[in-house]
């Protein structure tokens, strides 16, 4: 079952499962087993943006004027998001590409991961602007205990899957002795790791990000750090698409038509799925406590944010057919929704300017005389 | 003019003055969750207990059986819905 970059086996791609069938040979989209992934690709491409296009220069003054405890909230969130997107910018590629069997899904995974690299670059854009010493912010990520604790759970499922794939593709199913250590791998176990991995990615994109989104927008509601909020809206728009992607994968797996074993695994892993959601919600509440340890911000405090974690956890769980685990049914910060509306991305009420350099150039160079010869 | 029955209680008419079911529900001051309002995030998912809806654009979000997305749909027939 070794991986090959161009599988010579002539196969009917329409009959392959999403994962663990034949490696993809021809990247063709004239026929698609799951058209949804092609549609997600198109949508993601239509969302394309560059951090440099967003003017964040006003944020520098805002940031300097923030009280210390709000600076802590702002910068800590940015560090946490940097961690999450560092992981997301590479892991879908490394973990899923060696095992994917459908061209449209393969390309969706690549498109998805690419958009995460834009998110990563945008954090540098933001940090460079507000700090004269951006290296200090990034250096601290690897030393910050609160962030590292989260990194552990965010990466664990990816690493277990990648490790299993390496062994399986090298040695096949069975018990192998490698460098003096005995390891056992089966396809079934690999599928289990895959399912749990997709589940934990879903939690990452559907819950973990939203705590910092809420803080970013809470600043922007006060007309502070609006350049940052503009970027976060673009990121949130992408994330909504990513979580829709993982929800589709999970639901296709659970339905079983694609791979009957996956349906069985989805059933077996139900308890573990609940545990993944529960643990992530707990961790995000811990994080809220850390954020507000020196004081709340106007419009948002630890309790409200924790309630929001519960609310969004419930709604994400129901989306994949699990039951809500928290009693909360009301969104404690309904104002966040207006920041997440797609068509508002361009025309928000309190909007920071988009300074597209290209558009700017053209504007400057065109004056009335240029239109002299035009007949309208 | 199709009617919309909400959680077995209030009934509103979808008179076409609102573009989508979500708009119509909000006009009645009903709280429905939403993010994208474009059919790709799934945040607005509601239960469709009876009747049929038509999507204005095909939604990208996963829709389970018995659910629908009010942000990008209109009622085709009288419908019975439940807002989570
Ligand atoms: S609000 Fe996003 S799908 Fe309806
Ligand atoms: Fe991201
Ligand atoms: Fe993402």
Mutation target among A337, A338, A345 for the B interface, most CBs of B within 10 A: A337
Q: What is the pLDDT of residues A92-114, one digit of tens each?
A: 999 999 999 999 999 999 999 99
Cα gap A164→A176, rounded to integer Å: 12
Mean pLDDT of A319-343: 92
Task: Write down the pLDDT at residue A228.
Answer: 96
**pLDDT above 50 for A358:** no
- Interface contact B43, partner A, CB < 8 A: yes
pLDDT of residue A2: 86
Please indicate if any CB of chain A lies within 8 Å of the CB of B34: yes
**Minimal CA separation from A164 to chain B, in Å:** 29
pLDDT at res. A369: 45
Probe target for ligand 1 pocket from B32, B68, B69, with the most ligand atoms within 8 Å of CB: B69
Averaged pLDDT for residues A343-363: 41
Nearest to B42 among A319, A330, A341 (CB): A319
> Would the pLDDT of A372 be above 70?
no
Joined together, the tokens standing for residue A113 give 């991961």
Q: Determine the pLDDT at residue A353.
A: 42
Interface of A with B in 35-94 (CB under 8 A): 36, 39-40, 43
> How far does the centroid of ligand 2 lie from the alpha carbon of residue A39, in Å?
19
- Is the pLDDT at A361 greater than 80? The verdict is no
Cβ–ligand 1 contact at B19 (below 6 Å): no
B45 lines ligand 1 (CB under 6 A): no
Please check the confidence at residue A374 and state whether its pLDDT lies above 90.
no
Query: Residue-wise over A142-178: b if at least 16 C-beta within 10 A, else e?
Result: eebebbeebbebbbebbebbbebbebbbebeeeeeee
Residue A357 pLDDT class (50, 70, 90 cuts) = very low
Active site residue A123: yes
Catalytic residue among A63, A80, A123, A168: A123
The pLDDT > 70 percentage for chain A reads 91
Instruction: Give pLDDT, residue A346.
Output: 46
Q: CA A190, A193, A326 angle in degrees (round to 5)?
A: 155
Which residues 231-250 of chain A have a CB within 8 Å of chain B? 236-237, 240-241, 243-244, 247-248
Per-residue pLDDT tens digits for A167-192: 999 999 999 999 999 999 999 999 99
Q: State the pLDDT at residue A350.
A: 37
Burial class of residue A271 (count of CB atoms within 10 Å of its CB; 0-12, 13-18, 19+): exposed
In this prediction, what percent of chain A has a pLDDT beyond 90?
A: 87
Rounded Cα distance, A100 and A102, in Å: 6
Which residue is associated with the tokens 């209030």? B10
Place A344 in a pLDDT band, splitting at 50, 70 and 90. low
Mutate: best of A342, A343, A344, partner B, most B CBs <10 A: A342
Using an 8 Å CB-CB cutoff, list chain B residues near A342.
35-38, 40
Name the more confident of A38 and A374: A38
Average pLDDT, stretch A327-335? 93
What is the rounded CA–CA span in Å between residue A11 and residue A9?
Answer: 6
ipTM of the complex, rounded to two decimals? 0.94
Q: Which residues are found with C-beta within 5 Å of the ion, ligand 3?
A: A 88, 205, 239, 242
Nearest to B60 among A43, A319, A337 (CB): A43
Residue A285 has pLDDT above 80, yes or no: yes
CA of A61 to the centre of ligand 2 (A): 26
What are the tens digits of pLDDT across the range A211-256?
A: 989 999 999 999 999 999 999 999 999 999 999 999 999 999 999 9
Q: How confident is the model at residue B1 (pLDDT cuts 50, 70, 90)?
A: confident
Judge: B33–A329 Cβ closer than 8 Å, yes or no. no
- Closest by CA to A273, choosing from A209, A308, A321, A207, is A321
Contact A251 B64 (CB under 8 A): yes
d(CA A295, CA A247): 36
pLDDT at A283: 96
């Amino acid at each position: 079952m070794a991986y090959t970059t161009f599988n010579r086996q002539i196969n009917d791609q329409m009959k392959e499962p999403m994962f663990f069938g034949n490696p993809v040979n021809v990247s063709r989209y004239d026929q698609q087993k799951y058209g949804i992934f092609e549609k997600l690709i198109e949508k993601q491409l239509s969302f394309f943006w560059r951090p440099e296009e967003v003017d964040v220069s006003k944020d520098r003054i805002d940031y300097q004027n923030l009280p210390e405890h709000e600076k802590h909230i702002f910068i800590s969130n940015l560090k946490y998001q940097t961690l999450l997107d560092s992981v997301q910018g590479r892991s879908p590629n490394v973990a899923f590409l060696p095992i994917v069997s459908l061209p449209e899904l393969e390309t969706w995974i690549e498109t998805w991961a690419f958009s995460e690299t834009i998110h990563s670059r945008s954090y540098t854009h933001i940090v460079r602007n507000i700090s004269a010493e951006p290296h200090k912010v990034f250096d601290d990520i690897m030393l910050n205990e609160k962030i590292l604790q989260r990194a552990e759970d965010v990466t664990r499922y990816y690493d277990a899957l990648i490790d299993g794939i390496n062994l399986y593709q090298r040695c096949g199913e069975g018990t192998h002795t490698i460098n003096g250590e005995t390891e056992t791998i089966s396809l079934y176990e690999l599928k289990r790791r895959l399912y749990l991995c997709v589940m934990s990615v879903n939690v990452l994109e559907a819950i973990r990000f939203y705590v910092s989104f809420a803080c970013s927008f809470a600043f922007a509601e006060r007309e502070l750090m609006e350049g940052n909020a503009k970027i976060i809206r673009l990121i949130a728009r992408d994330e909504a698409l990513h979580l829709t992607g993982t929800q589709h994968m999970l639901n296709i797996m659970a339905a079983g038509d694609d791979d009957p074993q996956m349906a069985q695994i989805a059933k077996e892993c139900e308890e573990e799925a609940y545990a993944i959601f529960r643990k992530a919600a707990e961790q995000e509440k811990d994080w809220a406590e850390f954020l507000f340890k020196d004081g709340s911000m106007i419009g948002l405090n630890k309790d409200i944010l924790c309630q929001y974690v519960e609310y969004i956890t419930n709604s994400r769980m129901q989306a994949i057919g699990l039951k809500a685990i928290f009693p909360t049914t009301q969104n404690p910060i309904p104002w966040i929704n207006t920041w997440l509306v797609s068509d508002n991305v361009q025309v928000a009420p309190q909007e920071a300017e988009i300074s597209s350099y290209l558009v700017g150039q053209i504007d400057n160079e065109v004056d009335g005389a240029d239109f002299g010869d035009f007949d309208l | 003019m199709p009617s919309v029955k909400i959680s077995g209680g209030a009934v509103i008419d979808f008179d076409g003055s609102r573009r989508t079911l979500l708009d119509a529900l909000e006009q009645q001051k009903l709280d429905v969750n939403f993010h994208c309002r474009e059919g790709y995030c799934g945040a607005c998912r509601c239960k469709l207990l009876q009747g049929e809806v038509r999507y204005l654009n095909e939604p990208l979000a996963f829709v389970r059986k018995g659910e629908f997305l009010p942000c990008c749909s209109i009622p085709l027939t009288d419908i019975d819905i439940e807002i989570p």
